[in-house]
Amino acid sequence: MKQKSFLRFPGFQSGNLKSKTRIEKRSRRLKWVGLLAIVVALTVCGARADAQQPGKIFRIGFLDNSNASGMAVLVDAFRQELNKLGWIEGKNITVEYRFAEQKNERLPELAADLLALKIDLIVVSGGPPASAAKKATTTIPIVMVAVGDPVAAGLVASLARPGGNVTGLSSLGTELNTKRMEVLKDAIPTLARVGLLRPPGNSILVDPQLKALRAAAVALKLKLEEIETQPNPKSLESAFQTAKQKQVAALMTTGGRAFFTERKRIVELTGKYRLPAIYFQKEFVDEGGLMSYGVDYEDLYRRAAVYVDKILKGAKPADLPVQQATKFEFVINLKAAKQIGLTIPNRVLERANQVIK
């Protein structure tokens, strides 16, 4: 009688029952391996979905030591870039804005207020807000913008490896102050005495700037007159009167949000007292100021939105290196120069990125 044949599998010979048993066991194992692979894949996908949390509305805090109107142009740049990256206020994010109105002593209170709202991330503008936020939390991610020297300020361990919960962008404020003084001297070759508007007291934000400016003044053989002032209309008027009494021939300010938000008033006063001035942001020139040399701050705030995007998608601040400013602008307003009777040498005009005629 002819023996029946079994279904043929690789390695299985007709009539070999032991081989059949091995094949069946192998087949069952392969099925279990396949099922396990599917479970793992689903778990990984689920973890990624949880990390991005589709449908969740993330809450972002924005902490600044100036005011909303003065910061509007930079906040708009930040929000526009967030929109390009797919983050829309009211749809998948909300932003809680807190402004200290030039009162740094309010920053700890405002930082605590944001933490009480269970925010997912804090964006801080400048050194004092960054310090206040870091003191308030060591766990919630902090994205800093326009901090001159975050290592010296104790905000990060290093630019390449920030560590902790803080990362973001450095504005190179200290180095650029020296360059601004050099440009001012080139624009006014006879310059001998420069007035410097600076906030009262000492701080981790102002001290490095003063150190660099004092050294630059000595190197350029300039007399530096430091004039302390609060960033409000009454104090600024008094500061310009002091500058006149000290017979300064040109003016600068330390960098920072405080003077930035009062840029319109400062520009008006330089025109009133017929003082040439160089500023740290082009927005001063937009208000009618004479010259600016510095970082493109709108670019910094757009890049800050990229950090926010990465962190909300799961990146850790400690793993994101601090980036330095890469775009710089030298702008000259010849209309303002004409109003105060100043002729700027051609060699200086040729170096400008933009000359307003």
If you average pLDDT over residues 54-70, what whole number do you get? 91
DSSP codes of every residue in 65-134: SS-HHHHHHHHHHHHHHHHHTT--BTTTEEEEEEE-TT-GGGHHHHHHHHHHTT-SEEEEESHHHHHHHH
285-303 residues labelled b (16+ CB within 10 A) or e (exposed) = bbbbbbbbbbbbbbbbbbb
pLDDT attached to residue 177:
87
Q: Which of 231, 230, 204, 206 is nearest to 130 (CA)?
A: 204
pLDDT attached to residue 27:
53
DSSP codes of every residue in 220-272: TT-EEEEEE--SSHHHHHHHHHHHHHTT-SEEEE--SHHHHHTHHHHHHHHHH
If you average pLDDT over residues 70-91, what whole number do you get? 96
pLDDT attached to residue 24:
52
Q: pLDDT tens, 221-241?
A: 999 999 999 989 999 999 999
**Three-state DSSP class for residue 61:** strand
pLDDT attached to residue 278:
98
pLDDT attached to residue 255:
85
Q: Which of 117, 110, 116, 159 is nearest to 131 (CA)?
A: 110
Q: Are 133 and 124 in contact (CB under 8 A)?
A: yes
**Three-state DSSP class for residue 50:** helix
CA 323, CA 310: separation in Å to the nearest integer?
A: 14
Q: Are 248 and 192 in contact (CB under 8 A)?
A: no
The better pLDDT of the pair 249, 175 is held by 249
- Cα three-residue angle 263-221-189, rounded to 5 degrees: 65
Q: Which residues contact 53 (CB under 8 A, 6 or more apart)?
A: none
**Between 68-84 and 297-312, two packed helices, what is the crossing angle to 10 degrees?**
50
Q: What is the mean pLDDT of the chain?
A: 86
Nearest 10 degrees: Cα torsion 338, 340, 343, 348: -90
If you average pLDDT over residues 57-66, what whole number do you get? 96
Give how far Cα 149 sits from Cα of 155, 278, 295, 324, Å: 9, 22, 14, 10
CA 114, CA 99: separation in Å to the nearest integer?
A: 11
Q: Which of 80-89, 173-182, 188-197, 327-336 has the lowest mean pLDDT?
A: 173-182
If you average pLDDT over residues 263-276, what whole number do you get? 96
pTM for this one? Answer: 0.77
pLDDT attached to residue 113:
97
Q: pLDDT tens, 194-227?
A: 999 998 876 656 777 888 899 999 999 999 999 9
Q: What is the CATH code of the structural domain delimited by 173-295+328-356?
A: 3.40.50.2300
Q: Which of 6-10, 203-207, 260-264, 298-302 has the lowest mean pLDDT?
A: 6-10
Q: pLDDT tens, 318-333?
A: 999 999 999 999 999 9
Q: Are 199 and 261 in contact (CB under 8 A)?
A: no
Place of tokens 């942001």: 281
Whether the per-residue pLDDT at 17 is higher than 60: the answer is no
The dihedral built from the CA positions of residue 280, 240, 125 and 144, taken in this order, carries a sign that is positive
Q: Which of 20-24, 179-183, 256-260 has the lowest mean pLDDT?
A: 20-24
Whether the per-residue pLDDT at 18 is higher than 70: the answer is no
Whether the per-residue pLDDT at 44 is higher than 70: the answer is no
- 3.30.43.10, 3.50.50.60, 3.20.20.80, 3.40.50.2300: CATH of 58-171+298-324: 3.40.50.2300
Asked if the domains at 58-171+298-324 and 173-295+328-356 fall in one CATH topology, the answer is yes
If you average pLDDT over residues 140-150, what whole number do you get? 92
Q: Domain residue spans in the chain?
A: 58-171+298-324, 173-295+328-356
Q: Which residues contact 321 (CB under 8 A, 6 or more apart)?
A: 159, 160, 161, 162, 167
CA 309, CA 305: separation in Å to the nearest integer?
A: 6
Whether the per-residue pLDDT at 54 is higher than 90: the answer is no
pLDDT attached to residue 48:
38
Q: Which of 115-119, 206-210, 349-353 has the lowest mean pLDDT?
A: 206-210
pLDDT attached to residue 4:
39
Q: Are 130 and 166 in contact (CB under 8 A)?
A: yes
pLDDT-based confidence at 28, cuts 50/70/90?
low
